[in-house]
Amino acid sequence: MLELFSTYYAYFSENLKKAEIRTFEKEEPILLAGEDIDGLYFLLEGSYNVLSPEINGKELLLRKCTPPSILGDIELFQHCVIQSHCIAKTRCTFLFITKQAYEQTFKFDTDFTQLLLEELTFKLKTCTTLSRVNALSSVAVKFAAYLCTIESPNITNGYLKVQNLQEVAALIGTTSRHMNRVLQKWTEQQIIERQDDTIHIKDWQAIQIISEGVRFV
């Protein structure tokens, strides 16, 4: 597991031998918003979703996370409670560093701090982009932009590639009902073919025009 950590994060320290391995099964909560953070979680295997609980009781999907991904960095830097729900989508294995170990040892390691800062800036960039696109674009534009973004050969991170249309709706800040209206219209226009939760794009040029050049990057 230490070798796997070093592969993902390009960082190794003898202190990591004091870390723990924590596993979470599919659909098991990893972190829950409002609770106190107990340390740093470095994802080695599996995937999980990060969801923001809203006042109306719904949850906004912020991203899908695959290795490398870090939990607890925001909370430790800001000295705040956990900000989002993190739910395992597959069985997840983490290298876990306690809050006490971070405060006493890793906090003073410049390479380790650089690692956390890179993760924080990635989160800031993706959240800023999602907020901008979701606030300024219609559902049709957002969905077309999403499809164009995930099909781009320049996209290497899988944070946008969720598992079904319901999760896509949550990610782009809309409802399944609104998504279905768009899909029905595109089907009638012969832009797509749809079968249950699967769609086939027949006219990529039309999708690109609908997206208005907007991208989630």
In the chain, domain spans: 2-134, 137-210
CA distance 197 to 13: 45
| Residue 50 phi, psi dihedral angles, 5° rounding | -105, 120
Angle of CA points 152, 60, 83, to nearest 5°? 110
Q: Is the pLDDT of residue 162 over 60?
A: yes
CA distance 68 to 90: 15
CA distance 55 to 36: 20
Give me the pLDDT at residue 70, please. 94
Residue 43 DSSP label: E
Give me the pLDDT at residue 210, please. 94
Angle of CA points 116, 215, 134, to nearest 5°? 85
Q: Look at phi and psi of residue 57 and say left if phi exceeds 0, alpha if psi is from -120 to 50, else beta.
A: left
pLDDT digits (tens, 9 = 90+) for 52-105: 887 666 777 888 898 889 999 999 999 999 999 999 999 999 999 999 999 998
Give me the pLDDT at residue 36, please. 96
Give me the pLDDT at residue 163, please. 74
CA distance 57 to 203: 37
The whole-model pTM stands at: 0.75
Find the Cα–Cα–Cα–Cα dihedral 129, 135, 138, 144, rounded to 10°.
Answer: 10
CATH T-level assignment (fold) for domain 137-210: Arc Repressor Mutant, subunit A (1.10.10)
Mean pLDDT across 35-45: 95
- Percent of the chain's residues with pLDDT above 70: 95
Give the mean pLDDT of the chain: 87
Q: Which residue has the tokens 């012969």?
A: 190
Provide the 3-class DSSP secondary structure of residue 18.
Answer: helix
Which CATH number is 2-134 given?
Answer: 2.60.120.10
CA distance 80 to 196: 42
Mean pLDDT across 26-53: 94
Give me the pLDDT at residue 196, please. 76
